Chains A and B, each alone.
Chain A
């Protein structure tokens, strides 16, 4: 069974540009999450999809970030325009259930560098 995949693995962009990150969850997982780790800091929750609906987007830092999950399969996270402080590693995770005890399976992350 394929795990959570993320694309690209690395992205280097200039400040003010736009970047789109993609996440493909494990097949059959209705729940999809985005997290971010800024250098030297904790991994922080960004948002949670149940199928194509945003269940919780309390962690989204500002309106420069837009997450979508059309059709309830893969998800994209767009940053527009990117700022220096957006640099970090963006992780995606998926789970079958939505209970607090359900395991979230993480992808390898996308390392974003904004110059």
Chain B
């Protein structure tokens, strides 16, 4: 069965610092993985998705994630945090045919 685990329910970084949000997956088949973001009072927005085409996936707003099969990880990174990045981030895996299973979410805070 597919699942994802997000390490850290809350991450706080300084503006301009590296953002690293951790996600590990479990899957019996090659996974399709996603990162979604939820800004305050908004819906979930797709940041990026891994569909096996390339292990390094670039998304919107300067975010990227690297699929590492050996580590069963799909961590989300951004080189320099902006205040506008404050939001809740969800790692997710697709379960065929079309269901998505989400992690518990990581709330990112940015310190001025």
Measuring CB to CB, which residues of chain A are less than 8 angstroms from any residue of chain B? 3-4, 31, 33, 35, 41-45, 48, 55-56, 58-59, 91, 93, 95, 98-109
Contacts and interface: CB of A to CB of B under 8 A. Distances in A.
Q: Interface range on chain B: under 10, 10 to 19, 20 to 34, or 35 or more? A: 20 to 34
Contact of A108 (B41, B98, B100): B41
A109 B95 CA distance: 22
B32 A101 contact: yes
B98 A42 contact: no
Interface of B: 32, 36, 41-46, 49, 51, 90, 94-105
Contacts of B96: 100
Contacts, number: 65
A48 B43 contact: no
Contact of B102 (A3, A43, A101, A105): A43
B94 A100 contact: yes
Contact of B98 (A4, A95, A105): A95
A59 B98 CA distance: 13
Given A101-B49, A103-B49, A45 B101 contact: yes
Contact of A91 (B44, B95, B101, B105): B44
Given A101-B32, A104-B100, A43 B43 contact: no
A60 to B, nearest CB: 13
Given A42-B103, A48-B99, A103 B43 contact: no
B46 A48 contact: no
A80 B105 CA distance: 29
Contacts of A43: 44, 90, 102, 105
